[in-house]
Copies of this chain bind each other. A is one copy, B any other.
């Protein structure tokens, strides 16, 4: 059973931007935990980091995870527990990078997504090849209206926005993560 064990996913709740481009912290949602954990489990992602500096929000996420991993949910729906066990709650992105560096002895390649034009794009084909070749990769996604500029600056490269058949690119972050994991880690070759 093939597993890609060098890819981590991070979902950032702070710092992200609101509609007006101001830096904010967003609230964790139950569905972001479930949907993204299930997609991560499907595609062999190693850890799904849920990033928020707010203690109450961290506790909220941990309560949900604990229900499905150890509590009643683990008996009612063990498949769900096996997905949510990938979740690690963390206060900021630097700690995630530190943890990956410590584990693998090297810095991960940090890839983000952004709906706006960026100069340092890496296309999906190249990112897929890097992963196939054993590259350690951290995929960083934003909530609200997207990642704050300092997070985009921290990335090594930005994956192109997902366009379908037109110029509309307003997918939910849940859908974007699913599609990107399928492109980078799936076996479909069109």
Contact = CB atoms under 8 A, between A and B. Distances in A.
A97 to B, nearest CB: 24
Given A38-B175, A44-B164, A171-B178, A188 B190 contact: yes
A3 B165 contact: yes
Contact of A178 (B1, B175, B186): B175
Interface residues of A, number: 46
Contacts of A186: 162, 164, 179, 190
Interface in A85-111: none
Interface stretch (A20-28, A49-57, A61-69, A75-83): A75-83
A43 B79 contact: no
